[in-house]
Every structure is written in structure tokens, then in C-alpha cells.
Amino acid sequence: MLELVIGGARSGKSAYAQQSALEYCKQDSGRKKGDVLYIATATAGDNEMAMRIEQHKLSRPRDWQTIEEPIKLASVLKQHANQSEFIIVDCLTLWLTNLLAVDNEQAQREIALLFSTLPELTPSVIFVSNEVGMGVVPLGEETRQFVDEAGRLHQRLAARCHRVTQMTAGIANRIKDEATD
């Protein structure tokens, strides 16, 4: 089952994804919390971001495996898909930021690799991402490109996900549900 969780900054996306993983593990007594893989895409470019990353680390169970990968998301998903029951990718907009900072062509290749990997994923996967396109059109060219790329990424991923959940003020609003439990 693939799920996209989108929302604004501090809307509860990560907490929702983590709670979903914990509930999934409780459904079957044979599963344990350690069956969760957390793929973090953030890089600490400054002290404030380093503190955010540390808070995220402290908020999740210690027995979850964490892999920090800012660029090669599809490779990590392929490599670890058969080793985990549940995967959280947090977050796609930071991943996209990292990609666009490197090279637009590489960004497009990595995005294409992600989409070609989706059909191969057997564990449940939640993709966390920031909804950045609900405000005014940005003035700067790079910012507009980022907002446009994020919007396209979200649309393509939402079309392929079984569930799409929008977080607002800590409240989950399911906007698509084709999942079979």
C-alpha cells in the first residue's frame, strides 16, 4: 500500500506517518516496531535545520532503522524494500530541494527512477511531503520552478498511491482511499 501524506509545515505529517507505522505493526502480533524503515532526506545546512532533524530523530522509536539519503531515494527503496514491513520517506520536498540544488537533469533522472521503483515496492510505504502550491505564485524563477516541480511530483505520486491524506492542524483528511486492508 502506497500513501502520500501532504500538508503545510508543522501540520502533523510526520507524526501521522509514524503513528500509522506503529498501528500497522500492532495489527499482527508477529510484527515488531523494528520492522519499520525510516528514510530521512533532510540535510542540516544550518543550526535550525540540525535541531529540526534532531527533534525528528527523538520522536521516533529507537528500534526503527533510519537511513539518511538526500539524493538516491529510489536506490535505497530498492535495496531495502524486502527487508522492511513498513517504510516512511520523510520528506519528498526536501528530497526535491536537494535534487534541484545539484542539477535539473539529475533531478529528472532521480524522479523517473522513483516512479519506476514504485511497482516493485512490496512493503507499505508512506511518502511525506509539504504542500507548497497553495499560496501566491512566487516571484523568483528558482522558487517558481521548485513549486512547479513539487506540484507535478505530488500529482504523479498521488495518481499512483492507494491513499492520499492531507494534514491540516494535526487532523488527517483522507482525500483518496483505494486501499484494500
β-strand partners of 174? 165
Whole-model pTM? 0.91
> Rounded to an integer, what distance in angstroms lies between the CA atom of residue 181 and that of residue 105?
38
Each residue's pLDDT, cut to its tens digit, for the chain (181 residues) gives 999 999 999 999 999 999 999 998 887 656 555 589 999 998 877 888 778 778 877 778 888 999 999 999 999 999 998 888 899 999 999 999 999 999 889 999 999 999 999 999 988 999 999 999 887 787 899 899 999 999 999 999 999 999 999 999 999 999 999 975 4
Q: Are 100 and 145 in contact (CB under 8 A)?
A: yes
Q: For the chain, how far is it from start to end, CA to CA, in angstroms? A: 9
- Domain 2-177 annotated CATH 3.40.50.300: yes
Q: Which residues are catalytic?
A: 56
Calculate ∠ Cα 123-166-56, nearest 5°: 65
Please state, in angstroms and as integers, the Cα–Cα distance from residue 102 to each residue in 35, 96, 105, 128, 153, following that order: 32, 10, 9, 21, 17
> Rounded to an integer, what distance in angstroms lies between the CA atom of residue 94 and that of residue 71?
10
